[in-house]
């Protein structure tokens, strides 16, 4: 039996990963999440409900067994609370940790930077410390394409410099990679950083483009397209993210002996990997796809670039493909269609 701890299990990617992993009876999974109010809690509770978890008023802090799966349990817990986290590690003794708990959102980080320091840096430190103390065999953690910052060499490669972050969010994610490397080097802790590129799909966050655009189009509200619509994103379907993580879980990095040190290589059991589609999509084409699915024309307002934003993201996934013989492949039109179908169902509009 493989014991897996998933942090951020009530989040977008965490929910989908948990759903995939509980189908394997060889997995014993415990999920944690602080269920904060960054966005509507009902969406997080809906994800947990879909996993068979119903939080009651009296036992919402307990480890609760899923009603639909004997190999999944859930505990409401904040990774900033080190003592509680240590107790959970001591109770569960995970073999693998997948850290998806984080304060998300680039724009939110401009006005609330302290949230990113507390969760993305202090909280991640607690995860790394517990993983070291309990000799976890593989720590995988969510990084982000935002670490590339001012890099304008396309496509983004893991070997590219990542020394110029442009938001507190991107800085916090890069700091995770540096801390992970330090612990990989000092304590032989195998770590894999997952640089996600604009993940989308059913159960996505309301602050993400696909959700907010769909919501605005349906409700005949105006959509703001930054940089006058000249923006491109490497949209990556959530199922492709989940499959990649699943294939990586049993492939912890090993010690290497390289003469040349690069941002993505080390003698330590450490790696970072891009997980993206490798096919940047213009935001204008993104909107058109939603319009065609809904049969409604969007009201568009072109506005200037916002601080903390980049014009384009574009992943080179060669390293991922060579390692797991897979790279994201879901067609953009198919992914958007799946999301819109979920949105209409979730909001009882179909």
Buried b (16+ CB within 10 A) or exposed e, 318-346: ebbeebbeebbebebeebbebbbebbeee
**Which residues are tagged catalytic?**
169
Neighbours of 11 (CB within 10 A): 26
Q: What is the chain's length?
A: 350
From residue 21, how far is each of 94, 202, 235 by CA, in Å? Answer: 14, 17, 23
- What is the DSSP secondary structure assignment for residue 229, as one 8-state letter? G
306 Cβ neighbours under 8 A, 6+ residues apart? 107, 226
Neighbours of 262 (CB within 10 A): 12
Alpha helices in 40-165 (DSSP H): 41-50, 82-92, 106-111, 113-116, 124-133
């Amino acid at each position: 039996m493989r014991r897996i701890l998933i942090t951020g299990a009530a989040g977008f990617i965490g929910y989908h990963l948990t759903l995939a992993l509980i189908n394997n009876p060889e997995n014993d999974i415990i999920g944690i999440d602080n269920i904060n109010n960054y966005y509507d809690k009902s969406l997080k509770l809906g994800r947990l409900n879909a996993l068979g978890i119903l939080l009651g008023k009296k036992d919402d802090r307990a480890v609760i067994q899923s009603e639909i799966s004997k190999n999944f349990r859930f505990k409401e817990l904040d990774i900033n609370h080190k003592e509680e986290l240590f107790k959970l590690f001591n109770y569960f003794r995970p073999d693998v940790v997948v850290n998806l708990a984080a304060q998300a959102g680039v724009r939110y980080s401009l006005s609330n930077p302290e949230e990113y320091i507390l969760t993305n840096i202090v909280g991640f430190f607690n995860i790394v410390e517990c993983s070291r103390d309990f000799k976890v065999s593989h720590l995988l953690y969510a990084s982000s394409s935002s670490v590339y910052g001012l890099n304008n060499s396309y496509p983004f490669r893991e070997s590219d410099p990542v020394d110029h972050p442009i938001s507190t969010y991107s800085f916090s994610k890069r700091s995770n990679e540096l801390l992970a490397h330090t612990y990989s080097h000092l304590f032989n802790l195998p770590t894999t950083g997952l640089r996600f590129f604009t993940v989308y799909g059913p159960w996505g966050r309301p602050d993400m483009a696909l959700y907010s655009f769909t919501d605005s189009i349906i409700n005949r509200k105006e959509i703001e397209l930054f940089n006058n619509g000249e923006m491109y994103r490497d949209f990556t379907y959530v199922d492709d993210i989940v499959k990649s993580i699943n294939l990586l879980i049993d492939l912890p990095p090993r010690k290497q002996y390289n003469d040349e040190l690069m941002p993505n290589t080390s003698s330590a059991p450490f790696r970072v990997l891009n997980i993206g589609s490798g096919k940047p999509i213009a935001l204008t084409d993104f909107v058109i796809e939603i319009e065609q699915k809904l049969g409604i024309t969007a009201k568009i307002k072109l506005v200037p670039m916002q601080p903390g934003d980049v014009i384009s993201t574009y992943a080179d996934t060669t390293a991922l493909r060579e390692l797991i013989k897979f790279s994201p492949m879901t067609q953009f039109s198919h992914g958007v269609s799946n999301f819109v179908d979920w949105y209409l169902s979730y909001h009882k509009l179909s």
